[in-house]
Amino acid sequence: MDPAQLAALPDGQDLRLARGDALFRAGDPPLGLVLVHRGALELRRVSAEGRLIVLHRAGPGDSFAEASLFEPRHHCDAVATAPSLVTVHAAAALRRAAAADPSIGWRLAAHLAARLVAERARAERLAQPRAADRLLDALHALPEDDDGLRHLGRSWKTLAAELGLTHEATYRALARLERAGLVRRDGRGGVRLAGPPA
């Protein structure tokens, strides 16, 4: 299930946020499931010792605060880090609708299962100690066009941040993969991948 299908859930309300606006704060009663259309939000909390921890960075097409549907309070703050447009599906209304219509919980579960698969794959990728392994797995995860070309869809700098690498480490890893013949950069801003040497 993709966000477009989730958007067909009942009782959605569109909200615009300025940079720095909080959508909710830790301790607030649950607002509901949030879909991001434009902009960027951070879910963060401050540990007992005063350390700021970012739990999630949500961009266009992402959902978040799903767990709040099932809990009495938010456990983190949601703050816009750029001007943003979101849809909020109110928790109480969604809960009532789901009690009457079994397809709602099932569709929600389908959406969450797809997000979980993607996040697990991301975490496994990030758990690889070698920068070249992380980068190669991330490139393999990119969709391939009919011509065998994979498009980054973002800058190398953004990809580096997603991989928990510095810009420099990413370029060094890319150069290593190119020398090994595993990755070929294409002039059109994409890459081609080769299989491991036979």
Point out which residues bind a copy of itself (CB under 8 A). 1, 47-51, 53-57, 66-67, 69-70, 98-110, 112-117, 119-124, 126-129, 136-137, 140, 144, 161-166, 169, 193-196
Quote the CA–CA distance of 84 and 15 in Å, as a whole number.
Answer: 8
Q: Please answer whether residues 88 and 32 qualify as being in contact, where contact means their C-beta atoms are separated by less than 8 angstroms.
A: yes
CB atoms within 10 A of CB 69: 19
Q: Which two tokens stand for residue 145?
A: 């066009």
Nearer to a copy of itself, 1 or 16 (CB): 1
Token reading at 114: 């797809």
Least spacing, CB of residue 74 vs a copy of itself, in Å: 11
User: Residue 141 Cβ, how far from a copy of itself at the closest point, in Å?
Assistant: 8
49 vs 146 by CB, closer to a copy of itself? 49
Closest distance to a copy of itself from the beta carbon of 40 (Å): 14
Nearer to a copy of itself, 175 or 194 (CB): 194
Nearer to a copy of itself, 18 or 121 (CB): 121
Instruction: Using the structure block, give the residue that is written with the tokens 């969450």.
Output: 112
Which residue type, as a one-letter code, is found at position 26?
Answer: A
CA 180 from centroid of its chain's CA atoms: 31
Q: How far is the CB of 179 from a copy of itself (least distance, A)?
A: 17
d(CA 54, CA 145): 34
Among 112, 113, 114, 68, residue whose Cα is nearest residue 92: 68
Indicate the helix (H) or strand (E) that contains 179: helix 167-179
Nearer to a copy of itself, 93 or 161 (CB): 161
Smallest separation (angstroms) from a copy of itself to the CB of 68: 8
Is residue 60 within 8 Å of 36, Cβ to Cβ? yes
Q: 49 or 179, CB closer to a copy of itself? A: 49
Question: To the nearest whole angstrom, how small is the minimum distance from the Cβ of residue 156 to a copy of itself?
Answer: 15
